[in-house]
Structure 1
């Protein structure tokens, strides 16, 4: 089951990063929380969320990883550029800052994992999956909240940035 979970983690990361770094139309889909919910459910079902031999240190490492996931998700949601097209459709695209936030989050998670290993703490894929679920949940919530604040196209440019006549369409 661990091999399947690792594959799910890699697939979700690739899917989300590719989608976030290209311009895409946002829909009024209110189910943005389903993928993070599935990941969270899978992470809680996975044995080894904490190391039974070092419960306190393992729980602290998991807590720090969840905080990193929360901060990464918030930073990711705040750095995505949002705008409305003249037809009223809402679009988003990750910026260079989005890539930096995502990369910083990955580096921090890898560092935490390495530090935990040095302390003798074994973290299973469930911990990584829970942090990824939290990251996606917070990013989705922040992006959804920001999207509701974007002015209509006829009222001016969204996010204070002028609308470009050309955009990558995916």
Structure 2
């Protein structure tokens, strides 16, 4: 994929993920939470330009730092996300204002890494950013799934109001 297509994929994924995370959503702990990050990682690793051919060591160090920033951002995002269990046993999640600051910090660090690479003359491909984003999403989803399973599983809901009661009468106004 070209750099422009990678950039568009990154922007689209970030827009979708962030947009969904600031609304309350039920967590399904049985779903394949690792699938989107795995696809992003495979697409990023397929690119031949992920490492600069003229600065392999420096490029690999910057890539490793990018991935570490992604992992830290994902962990910070997951731990600043509110998680609760509804009366029916379904586990819900919603990002908080602190999550916004985690994202802004992660973006600032990534801009700093890009600046260091630019000053050093190291070519950085958008696939490095995509790999970092994959790490962010993987760690966040993993921690949230772990937290959701720790407080109650959506596949084993608690009894809801009215369970075990006789027939219910239809209310009339």
Q: TM-score, normalised by structure 1?
A: 0.86
Tell me the equivalent position of 2:162.
none
Structure 2 equivalent of residue 137 of structure 1: 138
Moved over 4 A (4+): 151-154
**Which position in structure 1 is the counterpart of 2:89?**
88
Match of 1:72 in 2: 73
TM-superposed deviation, 1:151? 4.8
Question: CA-atom RMSD, angstroms?
Answer: 1.5
8 Å contact kept, 1:73–1:136: yes
> Which blocks of at least 5 consecutive residues in structure 2 are unaligned?
159-173
66-75 or 22-31, larger mean C-alpha shift: 22-31
Deviation at 1:47, TM superposition (A): 1.8
Aligned partners of 1:43 and 1:49 also within 8 Å: yes
2:58 match = 57
Tell me the distance in 1 between the aligned counterparts of 2:26 and 2:146: 16
Match of 1:27 in 2: 28
Match of 1:42, SS state, is helix
Q: Distance in 1 between matches of 2:39 and 2:89?
A: 32
Specify the SS of the correspondent of 1:48.
helix
> In structure 2, what is the equivalent of residue 36 of structure 1?
37
SS in 2 for 1:81: strand
2:89–2:152 contact (8 Å) kept in structure 1? no
- Which residue in 1 is equivalent to 2:114? 113
2-structure distance, mates of 1:71, 1:45: 24
Partners in 1 of 2:46 and 2:10 — Cα distance?
A: 15
TM-score normalised by the chain length of structure 2: 0.85
Query: Counterpart in 1 of 2:5?
Result: 4
CA separation in 2, counterparts of 1:27 and 1:55? 41
Deviation track 1:11-38 (CA, whole Å, cap 9, x = no partner) reads 0000111111111111233301000000
Q: Contact 2:29 / 2:148 at 8 angstroms: preserved in 1?
A: no
Question: Which blocks of at least 5 consecutive residues in structure 1 are unaligned?
Answer: 155-170
Partner of 1:86, secondary structure, is: coil
Please give the alpha-carbon distance, in whole angstroms, between the structure 2 residues aligned to 1:67 and 1:118. Answer: 21
Q: State the secondary structure of the residue aligned to 2:50.
A: coil
